[in-house]
Chains A and B, each alone.
Chain A
Amino acid sequence: MRTFEPILLAVVLFFPALCQAEQSCLWLNAATAGGVLGGPVTATVSRASANPSNAATPNAKSSAGPTSANPARAAYGSNAVDDSDCLFVRQSGSVFGELRIEVRTMSEPRKEFAAYVARCRDHATALQAIGNQAAGCSLNDKPGGLSEQVVGRVRDRAFVVRLSINEPSLAQSALREKARKTAEQVAGSLF
């Protein structure tokens, strides 16, 4: 046990450093992504567009916002949240995990969302209580690893959660459950 402690200490010191190195993902923080992938992650966030015309949630249509006359509070940005992609990667020895989150605003949700569901080809399984609607599927398109995908919608915004882990001991059903829970977190952030 004594020889194990320095390693643990290094891990302790290292974990927060990795977390701090992340950029902010609006849909899921790196610590939660790390929980999904089973260890520390590196995060990359990219905005889909600076100010998509219809990226505001219905909340943003309200004139209310901060009511304070206090300039410090009034200075907060609008309620609009831009579309963006988040990529979380965990590499630990031979174990590799990747979590991709993609969020896009749809101008015609009824038409456009079908294209997102089509990403599951004919394997889509409807998932209840994730956003307005969601579907999941197993991809397994890379050799040696498992991959699960959830596509969903919150009002006029589509999201895609894709989770891949090449951990031999991980069952497909466990990965599916991880993907479902992650999708629920993402949808929750989008409401």
Chain B
Amino acid sequence: MYLTAGIVNHSTTKALATIVLAASFCILPTAALAQSDQSSERKEYADKIRETYNFRFGKDKPSLPGNASVEGNDFIQPGAFPKAAYCAHCHEQAYSQWRQALHSNSFRTPFYRTSVNILPRTAGIEFTRHCDSCHNPIGVLGGAMTQNSKVNREFDEDGLTCTTCHSIQQVKSTEGNGGFVMGVPAVMVDENGKRIPGEVPYEEILKYPKRHSQAVMKELYRTPEFCAACHKANLPNPLNDYKFIRAFTAFDEWQNSKFSKRNPLTFYSADFTTCQKCHMMRVPALAPPQEYGAKQGTFASHRWLAGNTAVPFYYGFDEQLQKTVEFLQSGMYLNVDLFAIKKRSTDEMIAPVGSTPFQLAPSDTLQTMVVIQNKNIGHSLIPEVRDLYEAWVEFTVKDGDGKEIYHSGFLKPDGMIDERAHSFTNRPVNVDGDFVDNHKVWTIHSVAYDNTVQAGRSVLVRYEFRIPNNVKGALTVTARVNYRHLRQSYLNNVLGEDHPAYPVVEIVSRSRVLKLGDNPPTAADPKDNPDWMRWNNLGIAYLDQFQYADAMDAFSHVVKLRPDYADGYTNIGLTNISWEKYGSARASLEKALTLSPDNARALYYLALVERREGNCDAEVGDLQKVVRQYPQSRDARRELGISYYQQHKPEEARQQFEALQAIDPDDIAAHYNLAILYGRMGMKEKAAEQSALFVTKKVDPGAPTYSLDFLRRHPEISTESVPWHLHTDFPADLAVGQQQH
């Protein structure tokens, strides 16, 4: 106990403890008092909270429908959390960054409050524990989220303060919703490594810096699993009175990306890269001000740069806004490729544009094929709440005078996006088939469409326009990906319609000049992908749009240009499998394995072919090789479990499904198969648990009807739900054979 070390004597401690207890309810505890006997203070505080706390979701589950928890499994007084200003004394630069970052503003922003305030007004404040487990954990763990709370909410302004993240001791699998276990906040450990609760004098920290590090830093903090505690969310039954619905899964998206090195099935490869590597890049420590956290002149940025421009814009955090825009525009994350042109008169694809000569004439009707690659984002485009964030493609065609010939994805005078734009958003709907506006996630029953681009994948967006007869000069065709945080109608909900225009950031763009007459090949832009990769990305996009013949053609171009590229052959095999042409898949997969022996991706798909052929031993053998190389591969574990199950090897199957569940606690196949396997093994309780989890997590077969209701009533946007669609100004009957809007 730090207080026995002569800093404060015992009688003083008792007296101060009494004061702090009182202060926790009605007045601000002071930093000096926070060193008192925290466990007795905490007990008295928790006893008082329990007297009036709404335990709607169970006496032993005070944070439900969220998952936040703290050691001791009881309420903890907010004053137990040293304030950020205390940390700022030595970490001034980190503090300045944090103050402008999303984490410090996680609760107080109008963009959050407008949504979360609906719960106390309609259902009860206790439901906010779902959101606030991550947005305001001190409030949840302090028992403030209850009717007629007696808790001083001064801490609201600091959101996720230093000692929320830096007190976390473990994460509870990767289920999210605040799935962390916090320790009682401490900034020092004693000579035996025991955590000393509360603040200590700075001199003590400077005297024993390692003990400070031991208290506030853990290897866990450098892992993606740490971020998963809050960057993964679901809507549980206690919240929506319906069923478990996946909300957002940034962690899973990362785990399935090339950056995790845990998934053998990615189209491309990369070095292992964590969330922190991109969002907490090391930055120079400039002295002054003081930054004791620096090592070799740098420290991990506490800006968590990502896509949110709305919060710094609202608060006037110009530096944060500028750095966020720079982050988005770094050019590292997306690639836009004006890949091909098709003339309606011939239907011949001219591709890749820039490498292939072609001719154009007035009156030609052209289909331009734009491939947008999620090249180096470690998660989807757009991640997380796609109902609020807004990324879309703006596509323009202009003549030599700059006169607009075609424009998709423009902003209308009221700030709304052109309905016909290709957007990377989604549309969650409620039981009435209405768009769930204002982020009332507890009313979501289905998703009408979800146009995200997963990490490493590509999307093909097609635009059709006609070259006017009297066109002047060459055409300039431009495709850009724009981003706005947040959707205009949500901003209107939050601030009313008279708010200033929020920033629209062009993340990436590519223009090409199309001449009337001859168009010879042109030099590639340094940012362009090589032609083999351009074809590869087209093939990936076709594959995701179920255009298997076209995907096969695209991948065939890849292996012609790169006969040494094993993944090109694997992609052909994958396309055949997706097309259910298992027999045709084998040759290309074997070719891939010739080029790259023991290639896990090729082995995985070959195993699926072998399963179809009834060659069980080879199937299992190949999957075992994949699992050995990628022990955290969800797909390989799942398929190997199924293989063992089919071979009547229940114990081996169980091991695989349990391993799968450790990787992804929400995997439906794991729940289903474990329910059966446990049942057969006589483990009735575990079987019942898995069965119940399967029932609540599986898709409600009635849910698509809510989506269809929405799509029927919104023809202007309904084709966004169709993977293969065309954007054009032509009336439907002229857009021959194509989906259009």
Interface residues, chain A, with chain B CB atoms under 8 Å away: 1-2, 4-5, 8-9, 11-12, 15-16, 18-20, 24, 28-32, 34-35, 38-41, 57-60, 62-70, 73, 76-81, 109-110, 128-129, 131-132, 154-156, 181, 184-185, 187-189, 191
Contact = CB atoms under 8 A, between A and B. Distances in A.
Given A39-B27, A67-B443, A185 B156 contact: yes
A39 B152 CA distance: 11
A31 B241 contact: no
Interface residues of B: mostly helix, strand, loop or mixed?
Answer: helix
Contact of B150 (A16, A66, A132): A16
Contacts of B149: 29, 31
Interface stretch (B120-128, B602-610, B611-619): B120-128
28 contacts: A1-B11, A5-B15, A5-B18, A8-B22, A12-B22, A16-B26, A28-B153, A29-B150, A34-B27, A35-B152, A35-B154, A39-B27, A41-B26, A59-B118, A64-B430, A64-B437, A67-B442, A70-B241, A132-B496, A132-B498, A154-B110, A156-B496, A181-B154, A187-B110, A188-B108, A189-B113, A191-B114, A191-B117
The 9 A-B residue pairs with the shortest CB-CB distance, nearest first, are: A34-B26, A191-B113, A68-B241, A155-B496, A35-B152, A31-B152, A8-B18, A129-B315, A191-B114
A23 B12 CA distance: 35
A79 B121 contact: yes
Contacts of A57: 121
Given A16-B25, A185-B156, A128 B316 contact: yes
Interface in B158-215: none
A32 B123 contact: no
A8 B15 contact: yes
Contacts of B121: 57, 59-60, 77-81
Contact of A30 (B14, B150, B242): B150
B431 interface: yes
A80 B120 CA distance: 11
B148 A24 contact: yes
B124 A59 contact: no
Contact of A63 (B152, B432, B495): B432
Interface string B494-512: 1110110000000000000
A128 B315 contact: yes
Interface in B468-526: 493-496, 498-499
Nearest to A59: B118
Interface of B: 11-12, 14-15, 18-19, 21-22, 25-28, 48, 108, 110, 113-114, 117-118, 121-124, 148-154, 156-157, 240-242, 314-316, 430-432, 434, 436-438, 440, 442-443, 493-496, 498-499
B681 to A, nearest CB: 37
A19 B25 contact: yes
B494 to A, nearest CB: 7
A83 B612 CA distance: 68
B28 A35 contact: yes
Contact of A64 (B19, B26, B436): B436
Contacts of B431: 67
Contact of B117 (A35, A59, A66, A73): A59
Contacts of B242: 67
Given A5-B18, A8-B18, A31 B153 contact: yes
Contacts of A64: 430, 434, 436-437, 440, 443
Contacts of A9: 18
A22 to B, nearest CB: 8
Contacts of B494: 191
B17 to A, nearest CB: 9
Given A68-B241, A79-B122, A15 B15 contact: no
A170 to B, nearest CB: 14
Contacts of A16: 25-26, 48, 150
Contacts of A70: 241
Nearest to B431: A67
B118 A73 contact: no
Nearest to B52: A20
A118 B431 CA distance: 47
Given A1-B15, A59-B117, A129-B316, A67 B241 contact: yes
Nearest to B437: A62
A18 to B, nearest CB: 7
Contacts of B241: 67-70, 73
Nearest to B12: A1
Nearest to B154: A35
Contacts of B21: 12
Contacts of B108: 184, 188
A32 B152 contact: yes
The residue among B113, B315, B499 with the most chain A CB atoms within 10 A of its own CB is: B113
A151 to B, nearest CB: 17
Given A5-B15, A32-B153, A66 B123 contact: yes
Nearest to B116: A191
The residue among A12, A80, A132 with the most chain B CB atoms within 10 A of its own CB is: A12
B25 A62 contact: no
A188 B128 CA distance: 15
Given A39-B27, A60-B121, 5 more contacts: A4-B15, A31-B152, A67-B443, A78-B122, A191-B114
A141 B344 CA distance: 78
B656 to A, nearest CB: 38
Contacts of B28: 35
A129 B26 CA distance: 27
Contact of A31 (B12, B114, B151): B151
Contacts of A63: 432, 434
Contacts of A81: 121
